[in-house]
Chains A and B, each alone.
Chain A
Amino acid sequence: MNGKANQEALGEFGRFTDPSVLILSSLAGGDKHGYAMIEDIVAMSNVHLGAGTLYGALARLESKGYIKALQSADRRRPYRLTALGKKVLEEHLREVQRVARLGLERLGGTI
């Protein structure tokens, strides 16, 4: 899968694209279950994901193979970022960074 395809891959999630990026970014810091992800995302970006949005995005990410569910002893199932997920996230963030840099340059600012 090339870079452009990776960006399109996340773009196909529609309204779940932004939550998916936040979830992948959260999982890049280590395995987490749903509640831990919500907390981490609030700390990271001040965005509070609802449970419905979280699981809508998690289900899509899992079916695409970007994350995988791990075994759990209780009801809280942890998730792990896969190699493909890492690659997709990296491509997406590079593209965002490129656009942000370009925008700031045009505004006369710096990153």
Chain B
Amino acid sequence: MKHWLYPPLVKLFPRDWQVRFKDEFLAVLETQTLTPRNIVDVLRAAVDAHLQPQSWSGLSRLEHLRNAQLTLFWTFALFAFAVLYLFKQSEHYFDALTAYHPEIDFMSTVVGMGWVIACFVCLTAIIPMIGQGLRAAPKQHSQVWLYIVSGFLLAGFVTFTVTLLTTFRHSAVIPFYLRRVWQTGLVITVASSMIMLTLALRRSPVAPKLLKRLHSRIYFLKVSMVALTLMTLAWGVRIWQVSVSAFHTDHFQRIFFSTVLVMVVLTCFSLLRQPFGSEKIPVRSRV
């Protein structure tokens, strides 16, 4: 039976999914009674389709690599720009904010640590793809850009981390223990990246099992990513809310904090769309 709610429900699915399944899905949906259970079932399927596009899209391995690499690259670039600009250009404003609003200081610490972990997880997830991309490039001469994107991605992340460390080395914005976390994170990230890239490139027999195990763990970190995203959004909204009232006479600051908030939101959603732990993230046995 037709119901006005069915078409809007189907619109919750990704556009590509709708192109492929919309008609037949609606046909099946219309045979079912509209109950809360069925609505929840459709909503869960829509969330799954968004979070795991690779499970239904049938993208080729190289298309998947290209999308994932490009999205992650821009994610890091956006987030790095937003955070660096926020702290570097308006450190005294931020200090003033945190002096009167200690909850922002606390949230900044929590969100900052969350992002350190998230960045590490992202890089761990991307490393096998970079390895696969580098190996695939010589066979696919038209895909030489993979070298460039992979290089940019690694260079971007290292630059991002190193710049943050340099920026905050003598700053009181980030407490001492948090700087230690950054430094430890950087060492672990770079070391593990190099090891995993080497394993992938040298076709070590350790690599497939290791990578597969890592991805199975990373899959469950999606939940953490959702939590982190919500936390970051709350943090961004609170800063925006407070700053707009605190600097209500300064149009530049209002525009600046609003822009940063938009960038943080875009970054969060961009990151959530990443297919961490996908069964289609290539491991060596599937090449």
Do A and B make up one complex? Answer: yes
Interface residues of A (CB under 8 A from B): 12, 33-35, 38, 50-56, 59-60, 62-63, 72, 74-77
- Measured CB to CB, the nearest residue on chain A to B278 is A12
Interface residues of B (CB under 8 A from A): 17, 20-21, 23-29, 31-32, 37-38, 41-46, 48-49, 55-58, 279
Beyond A56-B49, A59-B21, A75-B24, whether A51 also contacts B29 by CB under 8 A is: yes
Beyond A63-B55, A63-B56, A63-B57, whether A50 also contacts B24 by CB under 8 A is: no
Q: Give me 4 other A-B pairs in contact (C-beta within 8 A), A59-B21, A62-B58 excluded.
A: A12-B279, A38-B31, A52-B41, A52-B44
Q: How many angstroms between the C-alpha atoms of A35 and B31 in the bound complex?
A: 7
B27 touches which one: A12, A35, A52, A56 (CB < 8 A)?
A35
A75 touches which one: B26, B32, B55, B279 (CB < 8 A)?
B26
Contacts of B41 in A (CB 8 A): 50-53
Beyond A51-B32, A63-B55, whether A77 also contacts B24 by CB under 8 A is: yes
B42 touches which one: A52, A62, A72 (CB < 8 A)?
A52
Q: How many angstroms between the C-alpha atoms of A33 and B24 in the bound complex?
A: 9
- Measured CB to CB, the nearest residue on chain A to B25 is A55
Counting chain A CB atoms within 10 Å of each CB, which of B21, B46, B57 scores highest? B21
Number of A-B residue pairs, CB cutoff 8 Å, is: 70
Contact A63 B42 (CB under 8 A): no
Contacts of A51 in B (CB 8 A): 25, 28-29, 32, 38, 41-42, 45
Contacts of B23 in A (CB 8 A): 75, 77
Contact B28 A54 (CB under 8 A): yes
Beyond A50-B32, A50-B37, whether A76 also contacts B27 by CB under 8 A is: yes
Secondary structure dominating the interface of A: helix
B46 touches which one: A52, A54, A72 (CB < 8 A)?
A52
- Mind listing 26 A-B residue pairs with CB under 8 Å? A35-B27, A35-B28, A35-B31, A50-B32, A50-B41, A50-B42, A51-B28, A51-B38, A51-B45, A52-B41, A52-B44, A53-B41, A54-B28, A55-B21, A55-B45, A59-B17, A59-B20, A59-B49, A60-B56, A63-B57, A63-B58, A72-B24, A75-B24, A75-B26, A75-B27, A77-B23
| Chain B min CB distance to A82 (Å) | 14
Contacts of A76 in B (CB 8 A): 24, 27
Contact B55 A59 (CB under 8 A): yes
Q: How many angstroms between the C-alpha atoms of A34 and B55 in the bound complex?
A: 19
Contacts of B45 in A (CB 8 A): 50-53, 55-56
| Chain A min CB distance to B212 (Å) | 10
| Chain B min CB distance to A67 (Å) | 13
| Chain B min CB distance to A25 (Å) | 18
- Measured CB to CB, the nearest residue on chain A to B46 is A52
Q: How many angstroms between the C-alpha atoms of A76 and B46 in the bound complex?
A: 20
| Chain A min CB distance to B9 (Å) | 9
Q: How many angstroms between the C-alpha atoms of A34 and B45 in the bound complex?
A: 15
- Measured CB to CB, the nearest residue on chain A to B55 is A60
Q: Which 4 A-B pairs have the closest CB atoms?
A: A52-B45, A50-B41, A59-B56, A34-B28
Counting chain A CB atoms within 10 Å of each CB, which of B24, B42, B48, B56 scores highest? B24
- Measured CB to CB, the nearest residue on chain A to B24 is A77
| Chain A min CB distance to B250 (Å) | 49
